[in-house]
Structure 1
Amino acid sequence: MRTDEYRSFDALGLAQLVRAGDVTPSELLEVARRQADSVNSRINAIVRFMDAEADRRVTEDLVGPFAGVPFLIKDLGQDYAGLPSSNGSRSLARLLAEEHSTVVRRWIDAGLVVLGKTNTPEFGAKGVTEPELFGPARNPWSLDRAPGGSSGGSAAAVAAGIVAVAGANDGGGSIRIPAACCGLVGLKPGRGLVPMGPAVGEAMHGAVVQGVVSRSVRDTAAMLDVLKGGEHSGPYIPAVPAETFLSQVGGDPGRLRIGICTSSAINSSPHPEALAAVDAAAEALTDLHHTVEILDKPPFDDEALAQDFLLTWFTYLAWEVDAAKRRSGCGDEGFEFDTRLMAALGRAFGSVEYVDAVMRRHEHARRLSSYFERYDLLLTPTLADLPPRIGSLDTPRRLRLAAEVLLKTGTAGLLRHSTLTDQIIHSSLSWIPYTQLANVTGRPALSLPLHWTADGIPMGVQFTAQLGGEAMLVRLAAQLEEAMPWIDCRPTI
């Protein structure tokens, strides 16, 4: 099979070729490796090749909806037994996973052939994928730009045609941000629908969820069918629809009422291309006979939500650093400066402050629930700015020098009383202020590639739904995919 032919199919299309006997899993693996050999040195998407595992896998009798299809898993939260899950950190780079994560086991049961693990920032703590351990992943649409994070390696690999779909996860936008940066479909399922085990029942109080990035709505829907449902060690028995998500592709979404919001207290001036992406979506939705209304302001306190999100994020990261130290026996030298700084800020918050921030999630959820009494979906940009240039979000040298002194003296927690937190909110979230809402409230959200700039840079739009709204999102996404087809939009890398 030629590489260009391989890249023209989505994952379900490749699986159909295998079932029909038109191609073998070994042949698909060969093409995927050939494409990886061609582009990975430029995009740095794959950080561990699993040659022995993949070669052994294609000799097996593969069954399932994706039997024989090449696949990549993220090197964070998607453990493969016998291999390290570095989480993008030097501290964990040599520790071997004892068992498969539940989602990895479900992907294997679906017949996928895992050929490698993808790049991620340390502990997934950034919206860009530039870990010191592996170096930055790069956006196939523009190599000097980031593919987003924290599933940036997976998104770059899919956009570059190494695989048609790849594993991802999302604690603050880490599926949707890379999807928007790389021109892909990225669905964050609602809380509890997809398992996180068996190592943990849920991560960051359920804010983190597992999923994929893909090129087609039907791949995303079929992957959700593979992943959905609880596990015996999990905290929930999720309500799983009787019909498959794949069966919703092509279904009538009905006439939806959709509120549009581009304003944000975190970024008062979104990039014109972010606004153009929403305008394009609104026009298409109107042509499809949906009702769209422009909102004067967000239907929640987005500045308070951002502060609560970062407080819990920093504190949870402090716990992750301590847990990694216990597991690996390493000291501070095992972690990046930014990770140590964020963890120090997390430790500076009191336990009551932390619980306050967690409990305020219910206030944010109630406000969003009130919004959904009138509207079916909330439409925003996925990104408030273009995908950033590589290195542009590095901690400024002056701040780094000052913070290094405080870290060495154990007084970095004092920074929480300075303007540093506000600076971190601006630098970390100003280009992605729209994605944390779905994680904090546990709602499903979807990024679709409905706009490209004149320079060929993708800009996604995001739809947030109420609880249980995944099927609605799939139906609408398939309708938009037919009206504004994007699957043939591929970078020329």
Structure 2
Amino acid sequence: MPLTQSEYPQHDATGLAERVAAGDTSASELLELAIARYHALNPALNAVCQPMFDIAAERVNQPLQGPLAGVPILIKDVIQDYAGLASSRGNKVYSQIKAKQHAHLVQRLLDAGAVIMGKTNTPELALKGVTDPALFGRSNNPWNLAHTTGGSSGGSAAAVAAGIVPMAGANDGGGSIRIPAACCGLFGLRPSRGRVSVGPAIGEVWEGANSDLVVSRSVRDSALALDIMSGSNPGDPFVIQPPNGSYRELAQREPGRLRIGYSTRSPVDTPVHPEAVTAVERSVELLRSLGHEVEEAAPDYDGQQLARCFLDMYFGQTAATVDEAHALGAKDKDFELLTRTLAAFGRAMSSSQYIRSHRQWNDFSQSLGRYYQQYDLFMTPTIAHPPMRHERGDIPRKQAQVLELLLATGLLPLMARWGLLENMVNDMARRNLTYVPFTQLANLTGTPAMTVPLHWTEQDLPLGVQFNGPFGSEALLLQLASQLEQAQPWAGRWPAMALSG
């Protein structure tokens, strides 16, 4: 019997695939349901920026096989290239450049039978922890439309949280899987460096700090996605040891008694909201009730220095991307103010400064290595504050005016090169990282981390809890997540708009 509009979102991707395999529904019926929810909900959410309904309609009329056969999904509009379509990166220049071939991970989703029905919104060049590109407009959180979805995979998170699709592609160079998942009440796993190939158009993203996977409503869906998307391809810079079995099967095993350290202190000494502290403290109680040993203990590393190293990479990568666009004919006016500012800081940095900063990443890896000799996992808030209201993510008007003037006169790169803008850089860094100080550790060390939807605030806004693990420990993270999902289920918790849609 076909699924109804109210029944469709109650199934995760795995469950929908099982219904298709059993003949209870079909790929075309699921696509019709997903498109109907898109039309009902996307006008308010602005989650999907590039619908692919014609492509999806052709696909459901073809024989589909694999563990996702017939399941409608979305992919992110950056890195996750679909041949013949642009990966716009939230920017009008790149929105005109069509991908020549599928990204390996997109091809693997197609080989698994998935029906890709669109691409999701992301901030310009995926640079922010909020999703508000000038090109497509901001995405809104289905739990409260006045609040951010997080970023940079904010469109994906909004679409999954509202039940348009059960799973959507995401990537994470500074927290961009975990931040939006935490803001939207979803599960989000960032794999180890090199676990999922981002080729062939790109060898590595952000010096290997980025990893790709999905945001999902269930742990088993993310485990299945990792089974499908992981593995190297010829020409990749990384080849890492595969797991001893499928992640979906491994995720169903008990994790055993774990020793988990935790901290609620911001590594950059910025305030942490009481709700974020409560989220961790309640998780400590839950973990102890499950038999785990949990104590307050954090890795010994310089959080301020890690933040600066992240920003150096962030500035340099932005400058390189903008310069690449200039070579294609782009003008400065084709980029948003923040992007132009970051690029100017990047150009002011010497190559030796960039390399010295990158070499310090090893200090953080070594610190984590010592920590994991004593603890199996490290727990923190995923974000330091409940999903903020949109206006709090905007550059203050007076600061924007100053930046526009300095850029227009050519003074900004000169002043940055002379070291005269350190206070401005530090202020921007502090302001931006106040909300997301916990996620970059995994990126610079290449280690896996996940956010688990274990807490909602008094205002009914999600606020995830983060677990970091040693390199290659995705199976252990999934095992703990499955245990937490069973102990404190979240699948039945929906934003009101999703139920009305």
Do they superpose with TM above 0.5? yes
2:315 maps to a residue whose letter is F
**Is 1:427 equivalent to 2:431 in the alignment?**
yes
Q: Per-residue deviation at 1:491?
A: 0.7
- 1:467 corresponding residue in structure 2: 471
Q: Counterpart of 1:261?
A: 263
Q: Deviations over 1:421-462 (max 9, x none)?
A: 111111211111000000000000000000001221000000
Report Cα offsets for 1:246-300 as digits up to 9, x if no partner: 00222111111000111124244211110111012111100011000012x5532
SS of match in other structure, 1:452: coil
Give the alignment partner of residue 484 of structure 2, picking from 471, 480, 486: 480
2:458 matched to which residue of 1? 454
**Pairing 1:184-333 to 2, within 5 Å after superposition:** 184-295=186-297, 298-327=299-328, 329-333=329-333
**Unpaired stretches in structure 2, ≥5 consecutive residues:** none
* Deviation string, structure 1 residues 111-135 (Cα, Å, up to 9, x no partner): 1001111000001000000000000
Instruction: Specify the alignment match of 2:139 in structure 1.
Output: 137
Query: How far apart, in 2, do the equivalents of 1:249 and 1:422 lie?
Result: 41
Whether the 8 Å CA contact 1:78–1:104 is kept in 2: the answer is yes
Runs of at least 5 residues in structure 1 that lack an aligned partner in the other structure: none
How far apart in 1 are the matches of 2:56 and 2:195?
29
Q: Secondary structure at the match of 1:99?
A: coil
In structure 1, distance between residues paired with 2:33 and 2:269 = 43
Bigger shift: residues 83-92 or 408-417? 408-417
**Contact 1:91–1:325 at 8 Å: present in 2 too?**
no
Q: Return the alpha-carbon distance in structure 2 between the equivalents of residues 54 and 149 of structure 1.
A: 26
Offset, 1:91: 1.5
Task: Give deviations 1:3-24, integer Å, cap 9, x for gaps.
Answer: 2201110000000000000000
The 1-side partners of 2:28 and 2:391 are apart by: 38
Q: Secondary structure at the match of 1:42?
A: helix
Shift in Å at residue 391 of structure 1?
Answer: 2.5
Larger deviation, residues 237-246 vs 284-293: 237-246
Cα distance per residue 1:47-103 (max 9 Å; x no partner): 111111001110111011010000001011111111111100011111111111111
Q: Which residue of 2 aligns with 1:401?
A: 401
Match of 2:107 in 1: 105
Of 241-250 and 436-445, more deviation after overlay is shown by 241-250
Distance 1:221 1:163 in 2: 17
State the shift of 1:344 in Å: 0.3
Instruction: Tell me the matched-pair count.
Output: 491
Structure 1 residues 162-201: aligned runs within 5 Å: 162-201=164-203
8 A Cα contact 1:79 1:100, kept in partner:
yes
- Conserved in 2, the CA contact under 8 Å of 1:264 and 1:298? no
Secondary structure of the residue aligned to 2:69 is coil
SS in 2 for 1:384: coil
**Would the aligned equivalents of 1:194 and 1:229 in 2 still touch at CA under 8 Å?**
yes
What residue is the counterpart of 1:337 in the other structure?
337
The residue number in structure 1 matching 2:60 is: 58
Secondary structure, counterpart of 1:178 in structure 2: helix
Moved more, 84-93 or 263-272: 263-272
1:453 corresponds to which letter in structure 2? T
Deviations 1:365-421 (A, max 9, x none): 001111111000000000100111113121111111111121112221214532111
Match of 1:36 in 2: 38
- Where does residue 357 of structure 2 map in the other structure? 357
- State the 1:325 CA deviation: 2.2
Rounded Cα–Cα distance in structure 2 between residues aligned with 1:129 and 1:315: 21
Identity of aligned residues (%): 47
CA distance in 2, matches of 1:324, 1:282: 47
What RMSD in Å do the two structures reach over aligned CA positions? 1.0
SS where residue 280 of structure 1 aligns? helix
Give 3-state SS (helix, strand or coil) of 1:4's partner.
Answer: coil
Q: Residue type of the partner of 1:22?
A: D
SS of residue in 2 equivalent to 1:174: coil
Q: Supply the AA of the counterpart residue of 1:317.
A: T
1:346 aligns with 2:346: yes
| 2:146 partner SS | coil
TM-score, with structure 1 as normaliser? 0.98
Q: Is the 8 Å Cα contact of residues 267 and 431 (structure 1) preserved in structure 2?
A: no
Question: 1-side partners of 2:266 and 2:181: how far apart?
Answer: 21
Aligned to 2:150, the other structure's residue is in SS state: coil
* Mapped partners of 2:214, 2:44: distance in 1: 22
SS at match of 1:114: strand
2:299–2:368: 8 Å Cα contact kept in structure 1? no
Q: Distance in 1 between matches of 2:181 and 2:56?
A: 26
CA distance in 1, matches of 2:391, 2:200: 35
- Tell me which moved more, 342-351 or 266-275: 266-275
TM-score (norm 2): 0.97
CA separation in 2, counterparts of 1:243 and 1:265?
Answer: 36
Q: Which residue in the other structure is 2:18 paired with?
A: 16
Tell me the equivalent position of 1:379: 379
CA 1:450 to 1:331, structure 2 compared with 1: closer, same or farther past 3 Å? same
C-alpha distance in 2 between matches for 1:3 and 1:343: 46
1:463 match: secondary structure: strand
The aligned counterpart of 2:412 is: 412
